[in-house]
Structure formats: C-alpha cells, structure tokens
Chains A and B, each alone.
Chain A
Amino acid sequence: MKSSRALDVIGTLARLGLAAVWLVSGVLKAVDPDQTYVAVRAYDVLPTAGVEVVAALLPWVEIAFGLLLVLGVGTRIVAVLSLALLLVFMAGVVQAWARGLSIDCGCFGGGGAVEPGQTAYVQELLRDTGFALLACWLIVRPRTVASLDSRLVDSERT
C-alpha cells in the first residue's frame, strides 16, 4: 500500500514534468510562428505547404498535451501520443544528423540552420530520451495523484 502511494507520487512528478515540457515548448513556438516555420523548414523533410501546416499546428498540439497532463485527463492516452510525437522529433534530429545538416532542433523555440560545429545533436537526443522515459512511465503506470482521471473513474463507480 505504502509503496503504491510512492509510485503514485513518482507518476505524478512524471506527469507534471512532461506537462511542463509540452507547455514551455508549445508556448515558445506559438509566440514566434515565423521562427517555428524556419525551424521546421530547416529539417528539410517536408514540402513548403507541409512546413506551413506543421509549423502552424504543432505548437498548439504541444500546448494541448501539456494542459491535458496538468489536469490529468486521459493520462495514458496523452502519454502514448507524447511518446509518438517525441519519436517523430528524434527521427527528425537523427535524419538531420545523418544527412550532415547543421541545424538547431528548435525544440524550445529557436531553430534553423547553425554553423557547422555548432550542432548539439547528442544533447538534443538525450534530452528527448529523458522526456520519452517520462511518457513511458505514464504509459505503464498512468495512476497519479491529483488527476481528473481518478475522478472520472470514481464517477463511473456510482
């Protein structure tokens, strides 16, 4: 019982941590749409129209994930979606690295081309791996304290 409580607390920290990541990165991207466009374009994967759409929608999807995690609504679903999005990001960074592009990932705002030798692919991938681990925890064990999920389950019981 006691250890279950401790696991709930760890899960809660993972949930709020991942929520903070999405909210910060989403807001930084949303306030500077042109920079976000430049960051997405720098990966050199999508055609112009695709870059426009992704750059316009991505920040708001990140903010949505963040809000859902803060409230603890559908934690497991959002964790699965978060992991999927993080894997897409990591794939983007890996392809840029493999193709010898020199870009900043633009993970938390910024982004675009940088001087060769100014790249930080290893750090960016390690950071994303850390975020992915938070998501994995919540997929395996989505139970946390102070979440709306627990209320949704409770209301179903009556």
Chain B
Amino acid sequence: MGGAARNEKRRKQDEAARKLAAAGIRVERKTGPNRTAIILVAVVVVFALLVGGFIFWQRSSGSSGDVAATYPVAVSGAVVTAGTGPVVVDTYEDFLCPQCERFESRYAGEMKTALNEGKITVRYHAIAILDRLTEPQGYSTRAANAALCAASANIYPGYHEKLFAEQPAEGGSGLTDEQLIAFGTELGAGADFAACVTGGTNSAAVTAETDKAVADPALQTDGNFGTPTVTVNGQKIDLNDTSWLQTAIGA
C-alpha cells in the first residue's frame, strides 16, 4: 500500500469516526502495534545488539597464539615456573574450570608476550578442586598431573594451552589418558611421558598444592578458594579488571 493510498484510507476512517461520534457512537480505535512502534522496537534491539557486539569485540582482542614461547620453564612439585621477569604472577587453575578457560583465552597471549619479553615470571600452580565434577571422578587431578609431566618433558607452554583449548565439559567423562598422552606426543614429548601420565607421577604433589592453596587465606574470596585465582607479587587481583597485566608491568 503506497503512502498516498494509506493517507486516503486513514482520512476516510477518521471521517467515518467523526460521523459516528456526531451520532453519539464511540468507536475504539485499534490499539495494536503500529508502524512507529515496530520501527522503535527494531531500532532499540539493533542498538542493543551493536552494544553487545562492540563490547565483545573489545574484550576479545589480542590473541597471539601463533607466537612461539621462548622463555625458560622449570618445575618443582606442582608449580611450574615460567620466565625470569621481575613481576611475579601466580596463577591457580584447575584444567576443568570453565572460568580458567576464559582467563586463558583472554590473557594467555598477553602473558606469553610479557614472558617472552622478560617482563614477568609466571608460577603456574596445578590445582585440582573439581575432581568430583567428572564421571568417572578425577579428571582435574589427571590433567594437572599430565601438565606437570609435560613440564618435565619441556613442552609445558604448548601443552598447557592445548589442555584449555580442548577443555572437556563439566559433568562429562573428561579427556582420556590416551588423549592426554596424544597431545604430548604431538608436541614432541619423549618416551617416558606416557608412563608419567598413566602412572600419576605428580598426583600427590597436585593434592598437596591444592590443599595448601585452599588453606591460604591470602588466596580466598569471601572465605572461599576458587579457580582461577591470580596474584601479582603476592596480591590477589580482580579478574574483572581487563588491564591487570598492563598495570602490573607498567605498560
């Protein structure tokens, strides 16, 4: 229907309504959605989508996944120390924890750059607090053990990244030992890696590290320890602060 035809129709309707009104009859006009309302709704919803898209784009910047890790890695107990920079970052992560996967996908690239540039030292604490959330239980400990095996096999940076990239869902069965071994083989782990994974060589160290972290009041939020927890020079940081690393290294 063209604009002129619509106006003509409306004019006729108004005319008719006036005549009826003159005769003492009230006609209630249709109050359904009109064109203006439809346009307004569309505009507001599209605007909302743009806001969400913009914030998403802003937050998901800076992935440097293709940069090779050139920093030294050492392992002691269930703590992997990477880099030699003056600013010390401690991360407490469970490989099953979805929020840890979020943390890694957002900051791993930035951290790798800072590690390569010698600005920070990162101490990765292998934590297993979600063992009960897989069926069969225990994926968190198996994954943490495998990551420490990878550190001994000199493939920690790639392996750590891989475990989060392939993170299984909570409530599922987790990755199998075969999968955990295959990741290591892909990255060039030696022959003793498989035995380290299946034998649970570092499981006791993981449990000890977890107990220590859970009991540390400096790592708690409202009296509870959760993962991820990250400290910079011993001070727990707010993970909602997207510029925490820049602040820490004074960039």
Residues 45 to 102 of chain B near chain A (Cβ within 8 Å): 45, 47-49, 51-53, 55-56, 59-60, 98-99, 102
Complex CA–CA separation, A35 to B29 (angstroms): 47
Complex CA–CA separation, A103 to B133 (angstroms): 11
Shortest Cβ distance from residue B33 to the other chain A in the assembled complex, whole angstroms = 5
Are A56 and B52 touching (Cβ within 8 A)? yes
Complex CA–CA separation, A61 to B49 (angstroms): 7
Contacts of A44 in B (CB 8 A): 169, 171
Q: How many A-B residue pairs have CB under 8 A?
A: 105
Shortest Cβ distance from residue B230 to the other chain A in the assembled complex, whole angstroms = 13
A128 at the interface (CB under 8 A from B): no
Residue of B at shortest CB range from A65? Answer: B45
Contacts of B49 in A (CB 8 A): 57, 60-61
A33 at the interface (CB under 8 A from B): yes
Shortest Cβ distance from residue A140 to the other chain B in the assembled complex, whole angstroms = 12
Please classify the interface of chain B as helix (H, G, I), strand (E, B), loop, or mixed, using the class held by over half of its residues: helix
Are A61 and B48 touching (Cβ within 8 A)? yes
Residues 70 to 84 of chain A near chain B (Cβ within 8 Å): 73-78, 81
Are B37 and A73 touching (Cβ within 8 A)? yes
Contacts of A115 in B (CB 8 A): 132-133
Are B31 and A60 touching (Cβ within 8 A)? no
B179 at the interface (CB under 8 A from A): no
Are B31 and A153 touching (Cβ within 8 A)? yes
- A56-B53, A56-B55, A77-B37 given; A35·B99 CB < 8 A: yes
- A61-B49, A112-B98, A112-B170 given; A152·B34 CB < 8 A: yes
B38 at the interface (CB under 8 A from A): yes
Shortest Cβ distance from residue A150 to the other chain B in the assembled complex, whole angstroms = 7
Are B32 and A76 touching (Cβ within 8 A)? yes
Are B40 and A38 touching (Cβ within 8 A)? no
Report, nearest first, the 5 A-B pairs whose CB atoms are least far apart: A56-B56, A64-B48, A74-B37, A113-B170, A60-B52
Report B's interface with A, CB cutoff 8 A.
Answer: 10, 14, 29, 31-34, 36-38, 40-41, 44-45, 47-49, 51-53, 55-56, 59-60, 98-99, 102-103, 106, 132-133, 169-171, 239-240
**14 cross-chain CB contacts under 8 A:** A34-B102, A34-B103, A37-B102, A56-B53, A60-B52, A74-B41, A76-B33, A77-B33, A112-B98, A112-B170, A143-B31, A153-B31, A156-B34, A157-B29
Besides the contacts A41-B169, A74-B41, what 7 more A-B pairs have beta carbons closer than 8 Å?
Answer: A35-B99, A42-B98, A68-B40, A73-B44, A76-B32, A150-B31, A153-B29
